[in-house]
Chain A
Amino acid sequence: MSFLKIENLRKSFGKVDVLKGIDLEIEEGGFLVLVGPSGCGKSTLLNTIAGLESITSGSISINGRLVNNLHPSQRDIAMVFQSYALYPNMTVAQNIGFGMEIRGVPKAERDAAIAKVAETLQIGQLLDRKPSQLSGGQRQRVAMGRALVREPQVFLFDEPLSNLDAKLRVDMRTEIKRLHQRMGTTIVYVTHDQIEAMTLASRIAVLKDGVLQQFGTPAEIYNTPANLFVADFMGSPSMNLIPATIEASGSDVAIVMQREGGAPLALPFANGAGALAARKGQKVVFGIRPEALTDPDSADRNARHVSELDCAIEVIEPAGSDTFAVTRLGGREIVARLRADAPISAGQTARLAFNLDKAVLFDPETQARIA
């Protein structure tokens, strides 16, 4: 049973189509993250759910109720804005209570609700301050408090963490997740940060140019990206995408990649080999995430298909917990993720293990995943 349902949603500003037929749904208590590069339409999509932007066609329903033409205040939603949008002339308590004041909730009831939210978010000592007297993190909490106090059916978050510094961002991320687990309210969350998307979401929708690229769980998005864009956008460092050719003899399929100053590299490929055999001789893009390309010692022991090959290492980037090694395949820079103390140095040849269980193939023409 989907709680928030969006069907064939279109939005145009004059001649410009910003959203081109979006279909999404999320169950009650779910955490839907809309992610994509700037200008992909994710904030517009959120605004249409909030009712701040009208829609050109399609439908939005919340808990079985069609909300297309309802005023934002009647949709039973609450929104946290990127700039926090705290009313500068009001105190924290007045900010949180403003919506109730407008709805004519009695003062005593209002104060009780404000106190309860303040306790949840630990902002009790800030209630009499003005927004200008608060730090970024405190403003963030107040903005969430203003949303919480409404006890809405759906929370909408518009890049709420993008104005915080890196450390605070991670803390607030955890806090939002904890809050969601405790309250179990449905959340729609917009971000351009794919790590935020992965960590928070129960479902991720990846958008580009107003078109939904893929909609699935974080694991689906990460492990089996629908196309080259999703593969490249999600994950950091991003997936290695290497031009390759398919070779097949009988039912054995191999992926062949060119190497500078060496023989081509051939990797036996077992995932969906039957279908791939038909593509014999065709160009494909071979995708493998850095963590599936490691030193042999730290290769996944549960993997069924691992190939070990010698590669020339160009650069070593120690990152503390891991070491990243840059090599070159098919004319592209390739990043491998090794354990921190892997005995490897730049300029040498090292043996790398390719975990082919985790590898994917794309059609370079249609950009879609084929295996």
Chain B
Amino acid sequence: MSDEKMVGTTTGNRLLRALLYTVLVLFAVYYLLPLYVMVVNSVKPLDEIRQGNMLSLPALFTLEPWAKAWSSAQVGVQPTGLKPYFFNSILMVVPAVAISTVLGALNGYVLTKWRFRGDDVVFGLILLSCFIPFQIALIPAARILGFLGIAGTTTGLVLIHVVYGLGFTTLFFRNYYAAFPTELVRAAQIDGAGFFQIFRRILLPSSSPIIVVTVIWQFTNIWNDFLFGVSFGDFDSLPMTVALNNLVSSSGGVKEYNVHFAGAILAALPTLIVYIVSGRYFVRGLMAGAVKG
């Protein structure tokens, strides 16, 4: 039976559908409202916001709050804007995501295709790390960073995020590779391929869905992290999230709401872009293996 035939066969059916769409639209509006408020108020002069109507469109359109948030707003003690912190975040997120994804993939490969005695115990322990609250790890982590001499550096933050992300990335890849046919690995073994050749030539080319999922997951988590950033960051390494907090809470005199809104959007932009670019694959990857074929 075709969809067209099903829709509108009876008026009751049509009514139900209308109701359904109304509810969906209402929810969509509800969820989009905060974004609307942020965008609208980030392009208004401060006076306009003070007049009280947060929902109205800007009477006078200006990009000045954006420019200010980016390059000249008072963040902490220095009027640097969010720019240096944005690059701090990038320098932290990119290696942390890359390293944790590669290590997770290798872990998943070993745990499914090169099984050894006690491998499920090892996996269980790795999995456990997903459930350890950040706060518990703060002091030991600080000790280790101090010991290694990388406290307050971007390298230190990368290390912390890699270690913390490993549980999740291993989980993702292990479950994905568990469904990957072992016969392919065996065929490659007979063809004479070694450990890394099999990984690179046979498994990795078929892993794009789970790589996308892992990258999105790690990117958003690390980009949005506040606690590790505020605990272990210095001026040279403080991430965007901490800078945003400093921007909003430390500007002594006037609360520049329009600048705050612009800054908040700037801070959220990279994760938004990652979602928009690869969101399709995200859903596909999460569903992979759930349904056969």
Contact = CB atoms under 8 A, between A and B. Distances in A.
Q: Do A and B come from the same complex?
A: yes
Contacts of B250: none
A103 B183 CA distance: 20
B190 A102 contact: no
Contact of A77 (B183, B184, B190, B205): B190
DSSP class of B's interface residues: helix, strand, loop or mixed? helix
Given A87-B202, A89-B205, A102-B197, A79 B190 contact: yes
B14 interface: no
Given A81-B183, A83-B181, A83-B183, A89 B206 contact: yes
In this complex, the interface size class of chain A, counting residues with CB under 8 Å from chain B, is: 20 to 34
Interface string B177-220: 00001011011111111000100011001100000000000000
A52 B186 contact: yes
Interface in A84-113: 85, 87-89, 98-99, 102-103
Nearest to A53: B186
Interface residues of B, number: 16
B187 A88 contact: no
A73 B192 CA distance: 5
B253 to A, nearest CB: 60
Contact of B181 (A72, A85, A146): A85
B202 A73 contact: no
A47 to B, nearest CB: 8
Contacts of B190: 50, 52, 72-73, 77-79, 99
Contacts of A99: 190-192
A346 B237 CA distance: 92
Contacts of B206: 88-89
Contacts of A72: 186, 189-190
Interface string B10-25: 0000000000000000
Among B181, B186, B191, B206, residue most surrounded by chain A Cβ atoms (within 10 Å)? B191
B191 A102 contact: yes
A102 B193 contact: yes
Contacts of A87: 184, 187-188, 201-202
B178 to A, nearest CB: 16
A56 B181 CA distance: 25
A82 interface: yes
Nearest to A77: B190
Given A83-B181, A88-B206, A102 B192 contact: yes
A82 B184 CA distance: 11
Contacts of A88: 184, 205-206
A103 B188 contact: no
Contact of B189 (A73, A78, A89, A103): A73
Contact of A85 (B186, B197, B205): B186
A79 B188 CA distance: 11
Given A87-B202, A89-B206, A102-B197, A73 B183 contact: no
A71 B188 CA distance: 12
Contacts of B186: 47, 50, 52, 72, 79, 81, 85
B181 A73 contact: no
A99 B193 CA distance: 8
14 contacts: A47-B186, A77-B190, A79-B187, A81-B183, A83-B181, A85-B183, A87-B184, A87-B187, A87-B202, A88-B205, A89-B205, A99-B191, A102-B192, A102-B193
Interface of B: 181, 183-184, 186-193, 197, 201-202, 205-206
Interface of A: 47, 50, 52, 71-73, 77-79, 81-83, 85, 87-89, 98-99, 102-103, 146
A-B complex: 7 closest residue pairs judged by Cβ atoms: A73-B192, A99-B191, A89-B205, A85-B183, A85-B187, A102-B192, A81-B183
Given A50-B186, A85-B187, A146-B191, 18 more contacts: A52-B189, A71-B189, A72-B186, A72-B189, A72-B190, A73-B191, A79-B190, A85-B183, A85-B186, A87-B184, A87-B201, A88-B205, A88-B206, A89-B202, A98-B193, A99-B190, A102-B192, A102-B193
